[in-house]
């Protein structure tokens, strides 16, 4: 009579092969595990990014991980657009089971708000502001705040300047300025505000800064 194969067992951590880095899986079912970089089949491609949902070992101690994939903008149906940041990812509804040996390292996928507050962005730092449905190309949320005359969502890689009067944010190029010129400004008024009442406004009036979390929430337009 054939023997029943020993069952599989769930693990709460895994040490990445050849490193001392440990991938943790939270036991809280409402929270996600660590994010990891996974080796692609094509060595010319960047590593895949995934969130670990489950770690499992069989009776031979072969370890597999259930992951939820992050997509890069260029991997989505719509492709990469102007407002997508270089480190932007979409959390997809695509799940998979992979050998744990394909994990190359760990990374951190920040919320959009937290990412904009980073003083230094490391090679292992990414951010996510959308969930992505791989079969349809749909996004959640399907509307985000937009900025500037061009009415584009915020790209955290781009410098923007804030108008002292209307508090809106603008791309220097949309205001007829170079990045170098924008960096030298002490104050700024957009063209609409400066022409509305030149007599009652001081010349160019607001410090240059990049958009951060709270300022994103104050924008008045939605897309």
Interval 94-135: pLDDT, tens: 999 999 999 999 999 999 999 999 999 999 999 999 999 999
CATH of domain 145-222: 3.30.40.10
How confident is the model over 86-99, as a mean pLDDT?
A: 96
Share of the chain above pLDDT 70, in %: 82
Look at residue 199 in the predicted model and tell me its pLDDT.
45
Domain ranges of the chain: 9-140, 145-222
Helices assigned H by DSSP within 71-217: 112-116, 179-184, 191-196, 213-217
Mean confidence (pLDDT) of the chain: 83
Buried b (16+ CB within 10 A) or exposed e, 129-146: bbebeeeeeebeeeebbb
Question: What residues have CB less than 8 Å from 148, skipping those under 6 apart?
Answer: 160, 168, 169, 170, 171, 174
| For range 152-172, the mean pLDDT | 92
> By C-alpha distance, which of 22, 46, 20, 48 is closest to 34?
22
Task: Of 39, 23, 45, 18, give the one whose Cα is nearest residue 108.
Answer: 23
- Coil, helix or strand for 188? coil
The answer to whether the beta carbons of residues 129 and 71 sit under 8 Å apart is no
Question: What pLDDT shows up at residue 93?
Answer: 96
Q: 9-140 in CATH: which number?
A: 2.30.30.490
| pLDDT given at position 208 | 35
Q: Would you state the structure tokens that stand for residue 162, as one six-digit string?
A: 């804030």
At 22-50, the pLDDT tens digits run 998 765 544 568 999 999 988 888 999 99
Between 58-72, 106-120, 207-221, the lowest mean confidence (pLDDT) is in 207-221
For CA atoms 93, 99, 100, 105, the dihedral sign is negative
């Amino acid at each position: 009579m054939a023997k029943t194969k020993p069952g599989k067992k769930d693990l709460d951590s895994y040490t990445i092969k050849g490193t001392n880095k440990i991938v943790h899986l939270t036991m809280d079912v409402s929270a996600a595990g660590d994010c990891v970089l996974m080796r692609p089949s094509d060595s010319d491609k960047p590593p895949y990014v995934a969130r670990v949902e489950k770690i499992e070992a069989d009776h031979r101690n072969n370890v597999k991980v259930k992951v939820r994939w992050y997509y890069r903008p260029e991997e989505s149906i719509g492709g990469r657009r102007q407002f997508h940041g270089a480190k932007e990812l979409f959390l997809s509804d695509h799940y998979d089971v992979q050998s744990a040996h394909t994990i190359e390292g760990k990374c951190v996928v920040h919320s959009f708000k937290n990412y904009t507050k980073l003083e230094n962005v490391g090679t292992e730092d990414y951010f996510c502001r959308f969930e992505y449905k791989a079969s349809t190309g749909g996004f959640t949320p399907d509307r985000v705040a937009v900025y500037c005359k061009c009415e584009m969502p915020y790209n955290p890689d781009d410098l923007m300047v804030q108008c002292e009067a209307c508090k809106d944010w603008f791309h220097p190029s949309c205001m007829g300025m170079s990045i170098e010129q924008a960096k030298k400004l002490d104050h700024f008024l957009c063209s609409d505000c400066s022409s509305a009442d030149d007599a009652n406004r001081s010349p160019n009036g607001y410090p240059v800064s990049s958009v951060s979390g709270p300022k994103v929430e104050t924008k008045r337009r939605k897309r």
